[in-house]
A and B are shown apart, each in its own frame.
Chain A
Amino acid sequence: MSQRCLVVVPALNEEDAVGAVISDVKAVDPQAHIVVVDDGSTDRTSDVAKAAGADVISLPFNIGVGGALRAGFRYARRFGYQVVVQVDGDGQHNPEHIPDLLAALEGADVVIGARFAGVGDYQVRGARKLAMQLLARSLSRRTGERLTDTTSGFRAFNRRAVEVFANDYPAEYLGDTVEALVIASRAGLRVTQVPVEMRPRTTGTPSHRSLKSTIYLGRVFLALAMSRIRR
């Protein structure tokens, strides 16, 4: 892993999981510089992260994943990091795949760690599955690259992408994944994906239940429609 690689970990109330995420990343690359962006947690997320040896950007109040990420991108830009890797703080992403993402950055500006690309047995059902397929198809067309998992928060960005996103990273729910890809393709960034294996969440419950997945589908439609007409 390169010297100038920053691992950004957005975390909201993940005191039980974030420590393991940090030590796992360190196990893969002892040199990695890890920044946890604590998005207004009310628990000990930031203490745990500091104790585990990460730097912590503590946001004064909750501003959503998009804002947390943009803070990470700004940090990377300010201190001249060449590469940013985004790993969620809930322990879903297996840091062992980070070298795969970095390798794929050779031919792209944004690399998505995709959950349905043949590796692992991560599955979703019902309306949520439909929504994700819809997103994947639409964004594949947009980016000109076959993408199967556009909502994955396991990504790698090169310097060009960091520059773009440090200025403009969407805050809206779903926007942070969907619209970010639209912004990327508009800025002429190449987007690609590599298959990754997801781990079961170490703590907490998934943020979406079957009841909520219909609402999710509606928001996906809205996000897609918006991304189409946005300037």
Chain B
Amino acid sequence: MGVHVLALVGGLVSLGFMVELLRRRQLKEKYAVLWMLVGLVMLVIAAWPPLLDDAAKATGVKSGPNLLLFVATLVLIVVCVHLSWEVSRLEDKSRALAEEVGLLRLEVEQGVRVPDAESRG
């Protein structure tokens, strides 16, 4: 029974943490929703353990904890890949900004006017 209490407390704490981060506007909504979902699932499983075993039976997995481990790993991998993707995108954007800042600085120093016909890329 101790494990379930632990899971319940863990779920509650992480859910509370997410709400707090969101309240302080430290977390974008899309990430907050994801982690709150994870926290909720944790809570539900902790509150009603037979659910895990039922789910395991339904999917043909030998034991509940096995299924939990598998799903948890999968979710974490997907989240990690998503974050890598997000960081790559941000790097591209900051690179483009750096280029633009360099160009603008030169233009300001020289006080030049950019030809109107030029389309900004």
A to B contact number (C-beta, < 8 Å): 56
Contact A60 B98 (CB under 8 A): yes
Checking A37, A38, A56, A67 against B95 with a beta-carbon cut-off of 8 angstroms, the contacting residue is: A67
Tell me the nearest residue of chain B to A62, going by C-beta.
B98
How distant is the Cα of A97 from the Cα of B69 in the complex, in angstroms? 63
- Secondary structure at the B interface, as helix, strand, loop or mixed, is helix
A33 to B1, CA, bound (A): 77
Measured in the bound complex, the distance between the Cα atoms of B118 and A75 in whole Å is 11
CB contact list, A54-74 vs B, under 8 A: 55-61, 63-64, 67, 70-71, 74
Q: Is A78 an interface residue (CB 8 A)?
A: yes
Is there contact, CB below 8 Å, between A78 and B118? yes
Give residues of chain A (71-98) contacting chain B, Cβ–Cβ below 8 Å. Answer: 71, 74-75, 77-80
10 other A-B residue contacts (CB within 8 Å) besides A63-B94, A74-B121, A79-B115: A37-B102, A57-B102, A58-B105, A60-B101, A63-B95, A67-B99, A78-B118, A79-B114, A79-B118, A167-B121
Q: Which residues of A contact B (CB under 8 A)?
A: 35, 37-38, 55-61, 63-64, 67, 70-71, 74-75, 77-80, 166-167, 171
- Identify the B interface with A (CB < 8 A): 91-92, 94-95, 98-103, 105-106, 110, 114-115, 118, 121
